Amino acid sequence: MNKLHQLNTAIASRSIKIAMLAMGIAVGAAGSAAALPNPPITACGQTISTSGYYQVKGNLTASGTCITVAASNVTIDILNTASSDPCNNTTISGSKLSGSAGIHIEPKVKNTFIQGENSVITNFDYGIEDEGTNSSGDDINLSNNLTAGIALLGTGGSFSNFFSGALQHSSGGNCSLPPPQEFGVYLDGGSGSQIFNGITAGNDYGVFESGSTGSTVALMLSGSNIADGYQFNGGSKNYIYDDLAGTDSFIPLSGNDGFGINIISDTNDLITDNTAGGNTDYDINAAGDSTCTSNTYWFNFADMPSTPCINSK
């Protein structure tokens, strides 16, 4: 539950980087040709079939899927042209075609790493569709995709430090027109996945789990969603901790219009150290589990839990 810390950390990190850039230090040129063995990706429609480091340069536009990862041990670095307005960051944009993805990690692919550099992936069916194993993604914005900003469908995927939802201008107002994403993050059927230190806002559902096992949802902020901040439905043995659902005083999140955290039919989850307030329905809802026996709930801070045992043991 260290929202302050995580924000301070992020702010401090960015401040350092900005200060260093302003001082003209540190951001030196590449010193090694060997470190850039692959040509940059400058257009959509690419399938990466050889392991290595790939750099995305410039704004890309796709009519279908933009980048498909078909080999293991691939690193994708989306070189961002930083802007004071996130809407003007480097953008990979689709055409809202059903089944399309900004980046699609295929099944049997292992150890993909995506460094987003705070770029934007928008207007696909899925911003990132991960069907692989042990993928990682960091520092990226998923905005106004149709079904999900991030879909974790494989095993052991880990995504952090991201925003998924309706990205806004620094001056306010959405970057893109509605409709909102259906899910900020969609965990479906996979196992051992995790998301942490991310924000979901302006989706139908911030985080939606359906049949995932042994996954971790930690240190997330989810608010201003049309339905639930988090919904867990059909999985088991998931770890849900240090999350915030609803209002937050540090970023302009309001309550979710449904439940803050909605545990529908998961079993044997551990749910602890979460904070929820300002949501339209219960802040934490244990559907049909008035005695808190289907899952283990303790040390939560919900203004309106569906049953008191959610907050304490």
Partner 1 sequence: MIRGQQNKSVRWIAGAMLAMGIAFANASSAKAAPIIIPVTKCGTTISKAGFYQVTQNLSSTQAPGKDCIDISASNVILDILSNGESLCSGRLIKGDSTTKSPVGIHILSSAKNVFIQGQNSNIAGWETGIEDDGSYAIADDFNVTNNVNVGLLLKGVTGSSFSNFFSGILQDTSGADCFPVGIQGPQFYGVEFQNTTGSQIFNAISAGNGIYGVWSTGSSSNRISLVNSGPATGGVQAASFWFGCNSKPNPSASCSPHGKSNLVYDDTTTVLTSTGQFINGGGQFGFVFEKGETGYIVTDNAAANNFIDMYAIGDSTCTANSYFFNFAGFAVPSCINKQ
Our CB check for partner 1 shows the closer of 71 and 270 to be 270
Least distance (Å) between residue 306 CB and partner 1: 11
Our CB check for partner 1 shows the closer of 208 and 297 to be 297
Site string for partner 1, 195-234 (x = CB under 8 A): -xx------------------x-xx---------------
Least distance (Å) between residue 209 CB and partner 1: 17
Query: Among 75, 88, 174, 280, which residue interacts with partner 1 (rule: CB under 8 A)?
Result: 75
Question: Does 132 sit near partner 1 (CB under 8 A)?
Answer: no
Q: Which residues contact 25 (CB under 8 A, 6 or more apart)?
A: none
Least distance (Å) between residue 76 CB and partner 1: 11
Least distance (Å) between residue 42 CB and partner 1: 16
Please report the DSSP string for the chain in residue order.
Answer: --HHHHHHHHHHHHHHHHHHHHTT-S-PPP--GGG--SPPB-SS-EEE-S-EEEEEES-EE-SS-SEEE-SSSEEEEEE----SSGGGS-EEE----TT-EEEEE-TT-B--EEEEEEEEEESSSEEEEE-SBS-EEEEEEEES-SSEEEEE-SBS-EEEEEEEE--B-TTSSBSSPSPPPSEEEEEES-BS-EEES-EEESSSEEEEEES-BS-EEES-EEES-SS-SEEE-S-BS-EEES-EEE-BTTTTB---SS-SEEESS-BS-EEES-EEES-SS-SEEETT-TTS-SSEEES-EESSBSSGGGT--
Residues 78-117 close enough to bind partner 1 by CB under 8 A: 79, 111, 113, 115, 117
Least distance (Å) between residue 154 CB and partner 1: 15
Query: Among 65, 158, 222, 236, which residue interacts with partner 1 (rule: CB under 8 A)?
Result: 158
Query: Among 124, 162, 241, 259, which residue interacts with partner 1 (rule: CB under 8 A)?
Result: 241
Least distance (Å) between residue 41 CB and partner 1: 14
Our CB check for partner 1 shows the closer of 22 and 177 to be 22
Site string for partner 1, 3-42 (x = CB under 8 A): xxxx-xx--xx--xx--xx---xxxxxxxx-xx-------
Only one of the segments 93-101, 176-184, 205-213, 236-244 lies at the binding site for partner 1 (rule: CB under 8 A); that segment is 236-244
Angular region, 94: left φ>0, alpha ψ -120 to 50, beta rest:
beta
Query: Among 43, 70, 226, 309, which residue interacts with partner 1 (rule: CB under 8 A)?
Result: 309
Number of residues that bind partner 1 (CB under 8 A): 72
Least distance (Å) between residue 257 CB and partner 1: 21
